Structure 1
Amino acid sequence: MYKFVNKKTAVVVFIVDILGSLAFFLLYALMPWRLRRRGKVPSDPKSILVIRADYIGDVILALPAIEALKKKYPDAKITFLTSAKAKDLLTGNPFIDNTLAYDPPWFFKRPLKLAILEYALIFKQIRGNGFSLALDLRGDMRNIFFLTFLTGIPYRISFASSGGWYLLTKVLKYPPGLHEAQYHMEVVKAAGAIDTGINPPRIFISPGEEAFVQEFLKSNGLNRNEPLIAFHPGARKKLKQWPLENYAALGRTLRDDYKAHIAITGSADEAGLAKDLSNMIGAGAFSCAGKFPSLKHLAAFYKSCALYVGCSTGPTHLASAVGAPTVVICGPESVERWAPLGENSVLVKKEVPCRPCVGREDVCLFPESNCLKILTLDDVLQAVRTQLSRLNITPQPQ
């Protein structure tokens, strides 16, 4: 089963699969001993490569599966190949022995020359590690071909949901309707891991990162007796962003009713957006976009907040993973597939027939009933008040 929304892409992959299958049937006819690996897993793999080389939220949702894999093979060296932005999230994780950073040009646009140089480097690194088993958690034919097959890893497990079943030694059926973390778990289960349920991912924050945040709070004069609430208004795709004026109205209400400080987070590229929102809220709001040295410092900051509010994006998963009470403003994404795993998350959404987005989260085909524009201030404020009341944070006398 292909998971493509675009029918043209599915047709192209189907044709490639037919040609690839014919080529590999010929290969197996000439080298039949290769068939011995089909459907099998090494009984005691010494070195395992796990691939999820794309976005921050995806990597966070892969962490429970990595933990299950390490518990199955405690003596194996587990290497996580991930994107450069997500790599620092993995430092200090006792279930990961090594990390490789790579931004595949099929996910992250690159000039051709740079893409070739970077691929040559990662190819050499993978070959040099002598992996006996590779798990591609995404089920992407390009990952499978370039990062596991061409690099000569003998056992390769993944879904064939984007084609390339013949490149794998163990092919998994792609069951629709699962949470993304469960898809990851299905892959490691096929490698022998025990599915103990999808537990919240864990980010291992160091004392130094905690100390940095405490100094940051002190230097900004934040009163620990007044609630600190983080807003993250940005997203990789603009269609997933709740209108900025709604965030501003929400921030002013929380400042006036709860005497809350509003911290607006974002990457350095989102500093302008964060500054605009800070100005729209006025007193009590400040931008800290781009001010944290790493994602783990940002995680430590979220951990210190009374509440986090944001859309379905990487920092939302990060805040949830460190236990921050979270309000998720759900947009065009599949809520069932991408909801944060933290126990303190409240999802705010309006049911629309086009979710998950039939426009692939790029263009809204139904602007008159846009899933985020019809989410009102009162809808989100009600969820925020619910979370604050659970923390015994109540409105203050005017």
Structure 2
Amino acid sequence: MEYYDSLRDRQNATDVIPDVKKIAVLRADTLGDFIFILPALEALRRTYANAEIVLLGRGWHATFLENRPAPIDRVIVVPPYAGVSEETEFPENQNELKQFFAAMRAEHFDLAIQLHDGGRYANPFLLKLGAQTSAGLKTPDAVPLDRWLPYSALQHEIIRYQEVVSLVGVPKPVDSWPRLAVTQADLDASLAIVPAHQQFLVALHPGASEPRQRWPAAKFAAVGDALARLGARIVVIGTQTEKELTASVVQQMHMPAQDLAGQLSPGSLTGLLARCRLLVSNETGPQRVAGAIGTATVGIYWCLNMITAMPLSRLQQRPLVSWQLHCPACDHNVLYETCKHSDSLVASISTAEVITAARELISQI
């Protein structure tokens, strides 16, 4: 009851904060998750046009955002911090963190915004920055910030973070879809890995951090073969840890394909996707990047992902949804509680559905 009493009684101020010269934004995670906050950041920039916006992120943010048009002025890399920049059980270096937070207090942030998660770990981190005003999300077990909203898991991520910045007077943007600039450096880096060719490019991404949300490699291979027969040059992308998976797709294909697992940085990935006519992917970071730079996508979604990450347009985005809630191995309903198995929950989406959607998009471009 204390949580809900606080929710009713808290100060729900939504006015623009006067005289803000420096804003800290916390989001220290992956490229795909960063894409979700771009509309909120763009709106924040328009509202606080004269303030410096500093992203507290990871090392890749600093490299990726250097010389790239973006609403971020500067990136400060967050050191290993359990539950924020690392897993919750990660051993922290207390001396390093002490020096980091001392440096952050010396920044004299006027406003600190938590766009990271529900706040169990992120809110204590944010409060240590010493900003005059804090804002963000709050689960029942998280400490409150000056201005906060309750965290609901079943909400679209893009809308979630727009609502957070509305706490500090930021109006909802007219265009809610993330937009990411592609630089010449992105394109050059991708050309060094995948040289220009007369065939049009199609990328397949069979990976996903959650094994249950991976479409089978054999089905990706069948899609790759079908699109290669239409004249596409197929590239299969993934992280270093997904090499076995990407190799499986390539090995099961009858047509040629290039395995790029572990070869792409965030920049070269962006450049490559910008050159692709189409990406066929599970719901992952590359799928979000492709949507943000205007590349057509066919996305494989589990039903709960459609709630939190559904593309808002259908002009170049074709989401295909699996409504399977029971584990194929043990028939356990995984909607509220998981089981020990990792069998795919999206395998029921047919190869024919994906090929049809892909052909439609390719024919429109």
Shorter-chain TM band: 0.7 to 0.9
SS in structure 1 of the partner of residue 19 of structure 2: coil
Out of 196, 217, 229, the residue aligned to residue 173 of structure 2 is 196
Note if 1:59 corresponds to 2:61: no
Counterpart of 1:384 in structure 2 is 358
SS in structure 1 of the partner of residue 223 of structure 2: helix
C-alpha deviations, 1:54-108, integer Å up to 9, x for none?
2332211101100100111111111111234455443323411111223542253
SS in structure 1 of the partner of residue 304 of structure 2: coil
Structure 1 residue identity aligned to 2:129: T
Shift of 1:119: 3.2
Counterpart of 1:95 in structure 2 is 71
Counterpart of 2:305 in structure 1 is 334
Out of 217, 234, 240, the residue aligned to residue 194 of structure 2 is 217
> Distance in 2 between the 1:48 and 1:279 partners?
49
Counterpart of 1:263 in structure 2 is 235
Q: In structure 2, do the counterparts of structure 1 residues 333 and 119 end up closer, same or farther at CA, with 3 Å as the change threshold?
A: farther
Counterpart of 1:240 in structure 2 is 213
Q: In structure 2, do the counterparts of structure 1 residues 381 and 94 end up closer, same or farther at CA, with 3 Å as the change threshold?
A: closer
Please identify the structure whose Cα radius of gyration is greater. 1
Contact 1:37/1:155 (8 A) holds in 2: no
Structure 2 residue identity aligned to 1:120: K
Counterpart of 2:257 in structure 1 is 285
Contact 1:350/1:374 (8 A) holds in 2: yes
Structure 2 residue identity aligned to 1:344: Q
C-alpha deviations, 1:213-267, integer Å up to 9, x for none?
234332xxx532x2211001111111111011111111122223x0322101111
Q: In structure 2, do the counterparts of structure 1 residues 276 and 85 end up closer, same or farther at CA, with 3 Å as the change threshold?
A: farther
Q: Which moved more, 1:94-103 or 1:233-242?
A: 94-103
Contact 1:48/1:78 (8 A) holds in 2: yes
Instruction: Note the aligned Cα RMSD (angstroms).
Output: 3.1
Contact 2:81/2:92 (8 A) holds in 1: no
C-alpha deviations, 1:288-332, integer Å up to 9, x for none?
12222x202211100101100001111110111111100001125
Contact 2:105/2:130 (8 A) holds in 1: yes
> Distance in 2 between the 1:362 and 1:71 partners?
45
Note if 1:120 corresponds to 2:62: no
Contact 2:22/2:51 (8 A) holds in 1: yes
Note if 1:227 corresponds to 2:204: no
> Distance in 2 between the 1:360 and 1:326 partners?
30
Percent identical: 25
Q: In structure 2, do the counterparts of structure 1 residues 269 and 39 end up closer, same or farther at CA, with 3 Å as the change threshold?
A: same
Out of 30, 34, 50, the residue aligned to residue 25 of structure 2 is 50
Counterpart of 1:319 in structure 2 is 290
- Count how many residue pairs are aligned between Structure 1 and Structure 2: 351
Contact 1:212/1:297 (8 A) holds in 2: yes
Shift of 1:212: 2.6
Contact 1:239/1:363 (8 A) holds in 2: no
Q: In structure 2, do the counterparts of structure 1 residues 109 and 196 end up closer, same or farther at CA, with 3 Å as the change threshold?
A: closer
Structure 1, gaps ≥5 residues long: 1-13, 22-34, 392-398
Shift of 1:40: 7.2
Q: Which moved more, 1:169-178 or 1:48-57?
A: 169-178
SS in structure 2 of the partner of residue 141 of structure 1: coil
Normalised by the length of structure 1, the TM-score is 0.78
Out of 116, 121, 136, the residue aligned to residue 158 of structure 1 is 136
C-alpha deviations, 1:329-385, integer Å up to 9, x for none?
1125330221235652100113345799525677569x6xx6412111112112112
Q: Which moved more, 1:112-121 or 1:136-145?
A: 112-121
> Which structure has more helix as a fraction of its residues?
1
Q: In structure 2, do the counterparts of structure 1 residues 112 and 118 end up closer, same or farther at CA, with 3 Å as the change threshold?
A: farther
Q: In structure 2, do the counterparts of structure 1 residues 37 and 307 end up closer, same or farther at CA, with 3 Å as the change threshold?
A: closer
> Distance in 1 between the 2:339 and 2:363 partners?
36
Shift of 1:134: 0.9
Normalised by the length of structure 2, the TM-score is 0.85
> Distance in 2 between the 1:115 and 1:245 partners?
44
Note if 1:68 corresponds to 2:47: no
Shift of 1:113: 4.3
C-alpha deviations, 1:110-166, integer Å up to 9, x for none?
7754454553354234223111111112331311112x223322211122234335x
Contact 2:182/2:274 (8 A) holds in 1: no
Contact 2:325/2:335 (8 A) holds in 1: no
